[in-house]
Structure 1
């Protein structure tokens, strides 16, 4: 499991509250129910209003992936493709059917299965690319959902502060309560800005990055399946797929 998101968000909030304590404040003074309800509740509702119910459901499902998602590097797919290519060259495409049982990558299994079934190479590529495009669109919408939430939250926080200041003006005759009321009014702005920059925008960026990594792996698979169908030399396939790897990724030495 990739812990970048839970560590980043968790420690980020920890630093904020630690700073509050270092300045002599009480972190619980920031946990006022009304501003929290206004900022988080309204942010989710107006973000929902900007899309469809299905978009919201998909985004909530993607939320778990954002925190716990562990993407298989594209480089890990290369050895599996090369091994399939070597066997296909020795024994033919039909011999690959047994090898698919040991492969965990469903996208690779689907592509090789289409090849084994005798599907035209152009059609195989078209099918796989269509699936990749559909996934990228779905991932893009999920990332947009949280990016939109990050755009709405600060403004909603300001609305909460204005509402609080109106309440302050209603109580000018009670000077002993003004300090508390003014502080409470600005809590909404604090949570609006903080939730946008510590939660919503990072989640949107995380989902976008996960989508990019998955797309890179799927592109490797598409090129690999096409090369296997074409009967290319496994060494040439390995070199070609390695050249397509994202920067920083290398094929495991065991391959």
Structure 2
């Protein structure tokens, strides 16, 4: 909804400013210019993309308009899930969580958190890490594995933003291409009356206008939105990494979860008192 509101604000402000200055909207309606710019931008994306990166762009572009976002509730539930795992390990030993991490879909620990239980990537990350912990228990190896996994995930989630950003950068240039084609058409009418020539030149300049507006008003911000979501996702996994890493180094559940709590972005971070309630609930 925020992205849609932003689009409406951009269109409304640009259109209002143009209207206040005495502009006529009819001259801005140039389907041919839009076809040249939009079609060339799409073609350049296809040329630059691999099959995998193109699939990622199509999949993630919906997130620009999605109302889903990380919240304090999700971070609290994540800490609660980790607390239940760590407390069970503390009371019953490391082997006690083997069944939970092997079959998370049947584990009360994983299925009891409505806001995050459907995040299969996050669940898999926790379970795979604890599987390694069950086998080796070496803090350095566990940290290295988590770092490699998060780095790999971030590299993939960053691809759509990078590709769309490149498209945004190309739009002003493609707008110039459309404008030049318009000038070429205008030159063929050089003997036409001044009114007709003025209209033709104005139509040609619309290409430059559209290219710049699409770049800085729409496509560029979309790339930034996807980049922000990728960074937020990495921060979410960083809480898991900090908590499990502290556990692997021998920290008590309370200290390990405090490491996790301190890794939560400040605007979503639960208080120390709230963490204590989470642990008691575990």
Q: TM-score, normalised by structure 2?
A: 0.79
Structure 2: runs of 5 or more not aligned: 101-106
Higher relative contact order (CA 8 A, sep 6+): 1
User: Given the alignment, which residue of 101, 111, 118 partners 1:101?
Assistant: 111
Q: What displacement does 1:200 show?
A: 1.4
Q: TM-score, normalised by structure 1?
A: 0.87
Equivalent pair of 1:157/1:188 in contact (CA under 8 Å): yes
Q: What displacement does 1:15 show?
A: 1.7
> RMSD in angstroms over aligned alpha carbons?
2.5
119 and 21 in structure 1: CA distance in 2 versus 1, 3 angstrom threshold: farther
Moved over 6 A (4+): none
Structure 1: runs of 5 or more not aligned: none
CA distance in 1, matches of 2:150, 2:80: 21
Equivalent pair of 1:168/1:178 in contact (CA under 8 Å): yes
User: Given the alignment, which residue of 17, 21, 32 partners 1:23?
Assistant: 21
The answer on 1:236 being equivalent to 2:246 is no
Match of 1:131 in 2: 149
Q: What displacement does 1:16 show?
A: 1.5
User: Given the alignment, which residue of 117, 136, 143 partners 1:120?
Assistant: 136
Q: What displacement does 1:250 show?
A: 1.4
The answer on 1:75 being equivalent to 2:95 is no
Match of 2:186 in 1: 168
Match of 2:199 in 1: 180
Q: Which shows bigger deviation, 105-114 or 49-58?
A: 105-114
CA distance in 2, matches of 1:161, 1:251: 54
CA distance in 2, matches of 1:94, 1:208: 39
The answer on 1:200 being equivalent to 2:219 is yes
Equivalent pair of 1:47/1:152 in contact (CA under 8 Å): no
